[in-house]
């Protein structure tokens, strides 16, 4: 049975060899694998490659297709038929020692037939107690190269230098078809194991590795390095191989490279042609005239494999800059002078007309420029199909907003944030608004997208506790947003500035926390597309005259696709409020907002800033200090003294426990914002039932509405600190795994 399978395999391989030897592309052959183009003599299926040495195996088991060299596990990163080169990811040899001097290592070797190690590579060894050697074969002759690298703790090791101190290198001789890298230690790294326990050896393409002193400790994670291989067809020279015309690949506009000394032969497209020289009739004519690759003074005329030049009327010559060029006739010169004078007069008249015309159009053109520069076209595309005509944000003109802000007078400034300045404005219909003017900076693409992101997100939000977007203006050099005006400042102003905390009592703080939680819950689970705010903090919670909370500043927010629970993003936010899990993994989830909101709850309880270097070291990070105090039973000592408490009410204990759950390091142990909002609503409803006088008359209807809502929903509240929290509001996302590539050593 095994003999039959072997015969079948040999027949298939032989048939593939014969089918591909003609140098013709087969329509069924794959042209690419991942980011690597596959073209003859390479191929990935029967009849697609010249010989088994040119087989490319495309592995699609791990998601993104990965091309492998032959049937082994050497990854191909690039290949070129014009240069007869292929770049692979070659394995790094490793020899490591522990404190007892015991070694453990990984070998690196490669066996080639029609391929050779390119002289464009360098052999590099890293280590402080290292003797590296490469045993190779050049045809039937054994050969070898190597180098020695030593150093001590006080050695002068220089970055970028591989002179033998910490790193050494050797040039690659021509024609190596196979190699085996071996590493040895003079003293088992015994005296230097604390900072250099390992030796490494590898081939790498010149210019793609720059030694750093840090490599002596942390190079262990590097398993492969880019390395170039040269290749040729067979073992016969051009003259011998061309005698067998049926198997000779250099045909049509392809010629055999006589400068290549072998073994084997290489094909090149003849001058004036380009393409794959190993495929008959694939070398196509280059149109030098269209590409500008010519030296014609006047007109270029393309010909097959070349081009010619012609002179304009009144001139003669070969038309080439490196030849006789184009010489002007005397009679033609007089005509040129007269024509030039007339043209100069006409040009003067035209320029004068153009100047005044451009001056009249300058304002219109400038506004169009700023509209495009500020992402107007991008904004139109993103919101055109998402907002109904009744809810569409108004587009204001420059004049309207200048008039509303008294030409952006400094006395109208009501706040400055990370992304711009906010002015108080009065529109023509007497509406009071807040106008956000983004910072100018360098007008980068990231800043434009940040601005458009905020417009799109706010356009999709309709909630009483989220600041309302009224419109925008794109005609100015910096983009502008127009919001509803929230008159009572930020929550940060009221809990951190002296004199303001007395006015914001505990019942007001609890209501603000509940309203902010409801807004975030809406963003996470009730909006048409879930939204993660990503910068929840008291500075971004505004208060109106009745202390109603309004969540604001969506410049850093992200829309979350419905089929994902997390997003891989660059970490963004404010220190002291950043989710530690997000900071470590770069994976943004709705639980990141929950952590930030937990810090806001602690600030409402303590009236202390989230991060302050003026406090003792153990108190600098408010969240950590609060959790520590809660565990030690010292809650009363960290509460805001302005609350004037003789003892800690049950409502504050419940909120403190809720804050502790929000601040847990693992996101899956935190509650969702919907659960946080419901729990705060339950605490507030319980407090109203026990102490109905805590609510002012202006909020009685709201309290009754909240109580009825809680009763309708059959809300059940628990004070258990170890509450099991359900997964995020969003659906599960696709899991991406990285398959380990085993060494073919």
Instruction: Calculate ∠ Cα 267-269-272, nearest 5°.
Output: 160
Cis peptide, bond prior to residue 121, ω within 30 of zero = no
Q: Is 535 assigned a catalytic role?
A: yes
Sign of CA dihedral 637, 642, 644, 649: negative
d(CA 318, CA 446) in angstroms, rounded, equals 52
Q: Judging by DSSP bridges, how do beta strands 394-395 and 469-473 pair with one another? A: parallel
Report helix, strand or coil for 259. Answer: coil
Sign of the torsion angle spanned by Cα atoms 608, 609, 613, 614? negative
Strands (E), 325-373: 327-328
DSSP H helix total and E strand total for the chain: 17, 37
Residue 605, SS3 per DSSP: helix
With left for phi above 0 and alpha for psi between -120 and 50, is residue 254 left, alpha or beta?
beta
The three-state secondary structure class of 31 is: coil
Inter-residue contact 224 to 74 (CB < 8 Å): no
Q: Which of 218, 179, 227 is nearest to 96 (CA)?
A: 218
**What is each CA distance from 419 to 436, 440, 479, 592, 709, in whole angstroms?**
9, 9, 11, 21, 38
DSSP at 609: -
b/e burial code for range 342-363 (CB count within 10 A of at least 16 → b): eeeeeeeeeeeeeeeeeeeeee
DSSP 569-586: ----S-TTTS-HHHHHH-
Question: Cα(282)–Cα(291) distance, rounded to whole angstroms?
Answer: 19
Provide DSSP, 105-173: EE-EEEE-SSEEE-TTEEEEEE-SEEEEEEEEEETTEEEEEEEEEE--TTS---TT--BSBSEEEEEPP
Q: How far is CA 450 from CA 397, 416, 447, 655, in A?
A: 21, 17, 5, 34
d(CA 363, CA 397): 13
- Closest by Cα among 516, 514, 519, 512 to 463: 519
With contact defined as beta carbons under 8 Å apart, do 276 and 40 qualify?
A: yes
Helix (H) or strand (E) holding 137: strand 129-138
Count Cβ atoms within 10 A of the Cβ of residue 93 and give its class: 0-12 exposed, 13-18 middle, 19 or more buried: buried
What's the length of the chain?
745
Our measurement of the distance from residue 39's CA atom to the centroid of its chain's CA atoms, rounded to an integer in Å, reads 31
CA distance 601 to 387: 34
Q: Name the catalytic one among 95, 282, 507, 535.
A: 535
CA distance 97 to 185: 9
Using the Cα atoms of residue 14, residue 17, residue 20 and residue 22 in order, give the sign of their dihedral.
Answer: negative
Angle formed at CA 136 by CA 135 and CA 139, multiple of 5 degrees: 155
Q: How many angstroms separate the CA atoms of 368 and 362, rounded?
A: 10
Determine how β-strand 36-37 pairs with β-strand 121-126.
unpaired
**Do the Cβ atoms of 660 and 627 come closer than 8 Å?**
yes
Q: Which residues are catalytic?
A: 535
């Amino acid at each position: 049975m095994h003999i039959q399978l072997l015969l079948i395999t040999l027949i298939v391989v032989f048939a593939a060899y014969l089918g591909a030897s003609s140098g013709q592309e087969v329509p069924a052959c794959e042209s690419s694998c991942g980011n690597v183009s596959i073209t003859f003599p390479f191929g990935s299926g029967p009849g697609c490659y010249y010989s088994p040495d040119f087989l490319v195996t495309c592995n699609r088991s791990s998601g993104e297709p990965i091309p492998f060299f032959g049937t082994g596990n050497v990854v191909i990163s690039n290949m070129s038929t014009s240069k007869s080169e292929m770049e692979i990811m070659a394995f790094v040899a490793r020899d490591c020692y522990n404190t007892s001097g015991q070694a453990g290592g990984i070998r690196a070797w490669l066996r080639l037939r029609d391929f050779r190690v390119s002289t464009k590579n360098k052999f590099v060894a890293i280590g402080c107690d290292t003797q590296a050697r490469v045993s190779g074969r050049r045809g039937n002759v054994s050969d070898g190269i190597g180098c020695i690298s030593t150093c001590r703790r006080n050695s002068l090791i220089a970055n970028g230098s591989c002179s033998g101190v910490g790193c050494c290198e050797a040039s690659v001789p021509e024609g190596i078809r196979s190699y085996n890298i071996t590493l040895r230690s003079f003293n088992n790294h015994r005296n230097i194991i604390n900072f250099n326990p390992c030796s490494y050896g590898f081939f790498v393409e010149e210019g793609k590795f720059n030694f750093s002193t840090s490599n002596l400790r942390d190079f262990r994670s590097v398993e492969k390095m880019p390395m170039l291989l040269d290749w040729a067809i067979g073992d016969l020279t051009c003259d011998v191989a061309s005698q067998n015309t049926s198997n000779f690949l250099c045909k049509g506009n392809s010629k055999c490279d006589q400068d290549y000394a072998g073994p084997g032969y290489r094909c090149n497209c003849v001058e004036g042609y380009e393409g794959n020289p190993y495929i008959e009739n694939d070398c196509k004519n280059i149109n030098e005239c269209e590409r500008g690759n010519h030296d014609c003074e006047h007109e270029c005329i393309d010909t097959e494999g070349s081009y010619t030049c012609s002179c304009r009327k009144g001139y003669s010559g070969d038309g080439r800059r490196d030849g006789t060029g184009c010489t002007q006739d005397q009679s033609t010169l007089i005509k040129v002078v007269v024509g030039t004078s007339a043209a100069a007069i006409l040009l003067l008249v035209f320029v004068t007309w153009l100047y005044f015309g451009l001056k009249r159009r300058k304002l219109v053109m400038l506004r169009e420029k700023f509209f495009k520069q500020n992402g107007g076209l991008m904004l139109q595309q993103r919101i055109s199909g998402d907002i109904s005509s009744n809810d569409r944000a108004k587009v204001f003109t420059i004049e309207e907003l200048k008039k509303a802000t008294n030409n952006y007078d400094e006395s109208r400034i009501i706040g400055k944030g990370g992304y711009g300045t906010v002015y108080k404005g009065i529109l023509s219909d007497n509406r009071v608004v807040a106008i956000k003017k983004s910072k100018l900076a360098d007008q980068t693409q990231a800043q434009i997208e940040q601005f458009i992101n905020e417009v799109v997100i706010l356009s999709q939000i309709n909630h009483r506790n989220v600041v309302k977007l009224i419109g925008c203006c794109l005609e100015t050099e910096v983009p502008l947003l127009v919001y509803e005006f929230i008159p009572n400042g930020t929550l940060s102003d009221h809990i951190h500035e002296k004199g303001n905390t007395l006015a914001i009592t505990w019942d007001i703080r609890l209501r603000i926390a509940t309203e902010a939680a409801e807004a975030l819950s809406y963003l996470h689970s009730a909006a048409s597309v879930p939204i993660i705010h990503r910068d929840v903090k008291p500075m971004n919670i505004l208060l109106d005259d009745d202390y109603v909370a309004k969540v604001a500043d969506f410049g850093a927010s992200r829309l979350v696709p419905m089929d994902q629970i997390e997003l891989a993003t660059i970490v963004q936010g404010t220190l002291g409020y950043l989710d530690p899990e997000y900071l470590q993994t770069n994976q943004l989830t709705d639980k990141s907002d929950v952590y930030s909101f937990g810090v806001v709850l602690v600030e409402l309880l303590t009236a202390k800033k989230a991060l302050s270097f003026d406090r003792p070291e153990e108190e600098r990070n408010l969240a950590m200090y609060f959790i520590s105090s809660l565990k030690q039973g010292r809650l009363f000592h960290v509460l805001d003294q302005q609350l004037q408490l003789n003892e800690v009410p049950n409502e504050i204990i419940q909120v403190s426990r809720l804050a502790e759950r929000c601040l847990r390091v693992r996101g899956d142990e935190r509650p969702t914002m919907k659960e946080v909002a419901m729990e705060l609503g339950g605490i507030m409803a319980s407090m109203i039932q026990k102490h109905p006088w805590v609510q002012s008359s202006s909020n009685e209807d709201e309290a009754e509405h909240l109580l009825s809502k809680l009763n309708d929903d059959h809300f059940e509240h628990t004070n258990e600190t170890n509450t099991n929290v359900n997964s995020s509001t969003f659906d599960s996302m696709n899991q991406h795994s990285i398959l380990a590539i085993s060494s073919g050593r």
